[in-house]
Copies of this chain bind each other. A is one copy, B any other.
């Protein structure tokens, strides 16, 4: 139980300050869930919603879906699919990067983006 609920509530309330379309009800209806359910989610009365709903919420609030999914205790299904296709390689790589500092990760990201193998 992280602060998924608090996080999206404060984000939504911030947006609500200068846009009345970000009331709990209107957001709920736009992302296709019941207002009462979103209320419970924001207050942490229920566990975070499904991946699909979390992603719609992220888009609605202008948040990074991967970050919001992480707060929800999940990892995006498309990332899981990538890993599942080469489980040994990805498992080794990810475990190896567990303790690496952020700048090392960034370094690898750039290297892969620019590198020609």
**Contacting pair B66 A88 (CB below 8 A):** yes
- Alpha-carbon separation in the docked complex, A76 to B75 (Å): 11
> Does A46 lie at the interface of the complex (its beta carbon under 8 Å from any beta carbon of B)?
no
A66 to chain B, nearest CB (A): 4
Assembled-state Cα–Cα distance A89/B108 (Å):
10
CB-CB under 8 A for A86 and B105, given A75-B80, A94-B79, A100-B117: yes
- Chain A interface mostly: helix
- Indicate if the CB atoms of A109 and B82 lie closer than 8 Å: no
Interface string of A78-109 (1 = CB under 8 A from B): 11101111111111111111101111111111
Residues in A lying within 8 Å of B, measured CB to CB: 64, 66-67, 69-70, 73-76, 78-80, 82-98, 100-109, 111-113, 115, 117
Going nearest first, the 3 A-B pairs with the smallest beta carbon separation are: A70-B87, A66-B91, A104-B117
